[in-house]
Structure 1
Amino acid sequence: MEKRVDIQKPLEQLEGFEWPAPPDDATGLAKAAQSLYKRPIGSLNAHELSRLIGQDIGLPWLLPIAVKILRETVDDQHLTGFYDDDLLTAVLTRKSNVWRSHPHLVADLKEIIPLLKAISPYIQADIQGFLTEAET
């Protein structure tokens, strides 16, 4: 059973690590990630989640939120023809050690994937990679 997490807390509190300010010449991604690390996780939108997850930041707290968003929006694809491919890709492309630690999320994703329609070949490749990683 997944333990409840206070989504009003930022990753900084949840992980117990204060991320120092990036240097002036840091990349935009590094600056954005540091800023997002200090925001309550419940306030992060799909794009912000995909940025952090894609960098393997805060996965124990952010992956369940991301999978919940993917589950809640999967039906929207049928209505609008749009699905958040960035968030889906960020989630699907995590390594097998992540999925070994979160088997309940693997099960959730395996329920979501068949509901997706007209997926690009790139996302299909990510799905196949996820299924392979989840099995190893």
Structure 2
Amino acid sequence: MLHILTVKQHMKKRPKGLKAPKTKYKNDWKSMSLENLEKDHWGEPPHDSHVVKTCHQLRKKPLKDFETEDLRIMIGQNIGLRYLIPLALETLRENVLAEGDFYEGDLLKSVLTSDREFWRKEKDLFTELEEIVSDNEQVLKEQGPKLWDAFKEMKKKYKFKEKRNTACFTCIHVMTKSKPILFVSHDDDSSWEFTCGANEHSEEEIKIISLEEATDIDGSINELADMPEGVCAERENIGARWIKK
């Protein structure tokens, strides 16, 4: 853990004014290094740490020469995700249990535990990850049950732009988990409502919880995190498609 913090602390010391990676990749991007792609040269490692020195070295390495262990290390440190996650997904599509130097499936583990904010923004890549995991569901359940559980946990993670402690309305049935969330409304005053879909609730049945508590109850509502104000969504049951109105 000390090594990880050291790398992150160093990243915070980058010079200001650096350009963010372009949305579109260059045709030859895999032949370039992270330093060249990000136009960010870290210089010499500030600490005599194996992890720090390795990360500095890998930033100079052409991406086409990256091995599974290289991807595992860098993604585990949340470095260069914009470029390395697509490479990792290519590897995982070939072998979902691809391994670096630690254990079978360690690359997928690094991907699943990487920066949640990255995945919230890169929805196309998350969709691709979902497809890979879903296509290998049986393999993961049999040979990598912890990885399957990590994926389910990842899907449940908070994706709303509002703060986690933002108050929202729900009903007693949802709060006690006796009924699922079948109706979601993002009102004009920015408030959120998550209920079981019953036509009427008494005043006593209306409850207030935080947005994070709502996602803990049912992680699938994260699919509606970007729903604009003044729109509501309904579904017939858990697993059914949300219909926005």
Superposed pair shares fold, TM > 0.5:
yes
Over 3 Å counting, the alpha-carbon distance change for 1:8 and 1:96 in structure 2 is same
Moved more, 56-65 or 2-11: 2-11
1:100 paired with 2:120, answer yes
Residues 83-122 of structure 1: matches in 2 within 5 Å? 83-84=98-99, 85-116=105-136, 117=139, 118-122=142-146
Stretches of structure 2 that go unaligned for 5 or more consecutive residues are 1-22, 100-104, 160-221, 226-245
Q: Point out the structure with max Rg over C-alpha.
A: 2
What secondary structure sits across from 1:114 in the alignment? helix
Is the strand fraction higher in 1 or 2? 2
Over 3 Å counting, the alpha-carbon distance change for 1:83 and 1:10 in structure 2 is closer
Give 1:115 deviation, angstroms.
2.8
Moved more, 64-73 or 112-121: 112-121
* Contact 2:98/2:107 (8 A) holds in 1: no
Q: Which has the higher contact order (CA 8 A, sep 6+)?
A: 1
1:64 paired with 2:76, answer no
Residues 1-136 of structure 1: matches in 2 within 5 Å? 3-5=24-26, 6-23=29-46, 25-74=47-96, 83-84=98-99, 85-116=105-136, 117=139, 118-133=142-157, 135=222
* Inter-partner Cα distance in structure 2 for 1:16 and 1:95: 21
Is the helix fraction higher in 1 or 2? 1
Aligned structure 1 segments of 4 or more residues deviating by more than 4 angstroms: none
* Inter-partner Cα distance in structure 1 for 2:54 and 2:87: 19
* Inter-partner Cα distance in structure 2 for 1:122 and 1:27: 30
* Inter-partner Cα distance in structure 2 for 1:110 and 1:83: 16
Please give the per-residue CA displacement for 1:51-104, whole angstroms capped at 9, x wherever unaligned.
000000001011111111111224xxxxxxx54311101111123211122111
Moved more, 83-92 or 29-38: 83-92
Number of equivalent positions? 127
* Inter-partner Cα distance in structure 2 for 1:26 and 1:115: 42
Q: Compute the TM-score of the two structures, normalised by the length of structure 1.
A: 0.82
| Percent identity of paired positions between Structure 1 and Structure 2 | 31
Give 1:126 deviation, angstroms.
1.6
Q: Compute the TM-score of the two structures, normalised by the length of structure 2.
A: 0.48
RMSD (Å), alpha carbons:
1.9
* Inter-partner Cα distance in structure 1 for 2:37 and 2:45: 20
